Amino acid sequence: MVGQLRVMMLTWEFPPRIIGGISPHVYYLSKNLAKNGVNVYVVTCDFPGAPDHEVVDGVEVFRIDSYKNPSPDFASWVYLMNMNMQKEAASIVKNLGGVDIFHAHDWLVANAGIGLKHVFRRPLLATIHSTEIGRRNGLHSDYERMIHETEAWLTYEAWRVICCSNYMVSHVKWAFSLPEDKLVMVPNGVDVKEYEKSTVDLNQFRRRFALPEEKIVLFVGRLVYEKGIQVLINAVPKILEKVNAKFVVVGNGYMKEPLWEHVKRMGLTHKVLFTGFVDDETLRNLQKCADVSVVPSLFEPFGIVALEAMAAKSPVVVSDTGGLSEIVEHDVTGVKIYPDNPDSLAWGVTRVLLDECYANRLRENAYHMVVEKFNWEKISQQTKGVYERVLSEYSRTFWA
């Protein structure tokens, strides 16, 4: 290897295109790798108004034609988009005079990553953010099996598979029958500085969502079954028996309508506020105002929203499952509750809301833990370490 390490990141989303958690993940990871002296080339889908080629915070970004004809279904679109991504990336690599490593994020870029690996004979790394079998709690159709097998194919072709939590490491190992030494845990991160930027008067801001005498209980997430929002809604009357609060629910999803109907039937429309999607700044300010942030997920690969709440110094109540179990230490950095249990959730929330000393202790401990353990600077160094290890192993193969 001559000079700086050159990494090509393949991702279907990168800001300003934001669909899920992969976009911010790749953004912060790439930016901090660049700060650590890695040349990062991001190849991603195009987005209205965003340039085809630009340098963002030291990261060179290429946006490719993401196949805009109508497609038969989402998975077919993904494969067609990969056809375009792969041919564009091949030109880019050729013009750059080569790269050292390809790093693919989820099955959404599996084909492109695997093709480029063989064509240029460079190692491929895969980060698995989530799995089809986990999202759907099983495989129920050929469509789901096809995606599952594509994920398996990606992990098979990858030199190493990165997961963001120990829970995901064991889940991915089980789902694709991978050998232990192929898996690496590198956590997800959160940038606490983003929470210090806003100059909005929070007391003023808070009034848009709650009365001064109401505590704010915040939920942030897609309104889908596995996020457990229904558990929180069921706990609302139990919590209101003990403390006056406003429940602010941020996000959209197929459960929004039925949940709202349920709230109406309980006669609690004045206590529950559905905001839908909000912009980043509003979200961060809400997290800063929240007297407690609740993450009641039933399935959670990582649980980045808990870290974000901690960075905003909001106390957290999380269900004891998946990645959340690892992030939170009970009574130290947050409160753990039994998953899918409204009584347990109500107990956790009232405990935080009724004891300010306890809440403040959780806030301080959690904030320090986030700064210490989940900062992107450190995570990018760990990732660079994985790259270097893989390249040193690669240098002893006949491809090198």
Partner 1 sequence: MRVIVFSWEYPPRVVGKLANYVRELSLRLAKDGGVETFLITYHDYWTGEFEEEGVKVCRVTNPVKTHISVLTWVLTLNQEVERAAANIYYKSGKLIDLIDVQDWHFIPAAVTLKKAFGIPFVYSVESLEDHRSHGANAPFNMAIKSIEWLGTYEASVVLVKSDWMASEVIRAYKVPEAKVKVVNPETKHWFEDILKVYKGVMGEFR
Q: How far is the CB of 180 from partner 1 (least distance, A)?
A: 23
Say if residues 16 and 44 touch (Cβ distance below 8 Å). Answer: no
Part of the chain binding partner 1 (CB under 8 A), chosen from 36-44, 115-123, 127-135, 193-201: 115-123
| CA–CA distance, 100 with 38 (Å, rounded to integer) | 11
In the range 140-159, which residues lie near partner 1 by CB under 8 A? 142-143, 145-146, 149-150, 153, 156
In the range 344-373, which residues lie near partner 1 by CB under 8 A? none
Nearer CB in complex with partner 1: 141/204? 141
Collapse the DSSP code of 221 into the 3-class scheme (helix H, G, I; strand E, B; otherwise coil) and give the result: coil
DSSP-derived letter for residue 331 is: T
Part of the chain binding partner 1 (CB under 8 A), chosen from 51-59, 113-121, 230-238, 328-336: 113-121
Return the closest-CA partner of residue 9 out of 132, 92, 97, 95: 92
The yes or no reply on residue 91 touching partner 1 (CB under 8 A) is yes
| CA–CA distance, 114 with 91 (Å, rounded to integer) | 16
The long-range contacts involving 21-24, CB below 8 angstroms and separated by at least 24 positions, are 21/129, 21/188, 21/302, 21/304, 22/105, 22/106, 22/108, 22/129
The owner of tokens 């980045």 is 304
The yes or no reply on residue 76 touching partner 1 (CB under 8 A) is yes
Helices (H), the chain: 22-35, 74-96, 110-120, 132-135, 142-157, 166-176, 202-206, 229-240, 256-265, 280-289, 304-311, 322-327, 342-354, 356-373, 376-394
Q: How far is the CB of 114 from partner 1 (least distance, A)?
A: 5
The yes or no reply on residue 86 touching partner 1 (CB under 8 A) is yes
In the range 93-112, which residues lie near partner 1 by CB under 8 A? 93-94, 111
Part of the chain binding partner 1 (CB under 8 A), chosen from 139-147, 165-173, 195-203, 263-271: 139-147
Q: How far is the CB of 113 from partner 1 (least distance, A)?
A: 9
The yes or no reply on residue 289 touching partner 1 (CB under 8 A) is no
Nearer CB in complex with partner 1: 156/195? 156
Among 17, 35, 87, 182, binds partner 1 (CB under 8 A): 87
Q: How far is the CB of 156 from partner 1 (least distance, A)?
A: 8
In the range 156-215, which residues lie near partner 1 by CB under 8 A? 156
| Cβ atoms within 10 Å, residue 91 | 11
Part of the chain binding partner 1 (CB under 8 A), chosen from 87-95, 207-215, 347-355, 380-388: 87-95
| CA–CA distance, 371 with 367 (Å, rounded to integer) | 6
| CA–CA distance, 374 with 364 (Å, rounded to integer) | 15
| CA–CA distance, 314 with 289 (Å, rounded to integer) | 8
What number of chain residues touch partner 1 (CB under 8 A)? Answer: 34
Crossing angle for the helix pair 74-96 and 142-157, to the nearest 10 degrees: 20
In the range 31-70, which residues lie near partner 1 by CB under 8 A? 67, 69-70
- Which residues here bind partner 1, judged by CB under 8 A? 67, 69-73, 75-76, 79-80, 82-83, 86-88, 90-91, 93-94, 111, 114-115, 118-121, 142-143, 145-146, 149-150, 153, 156
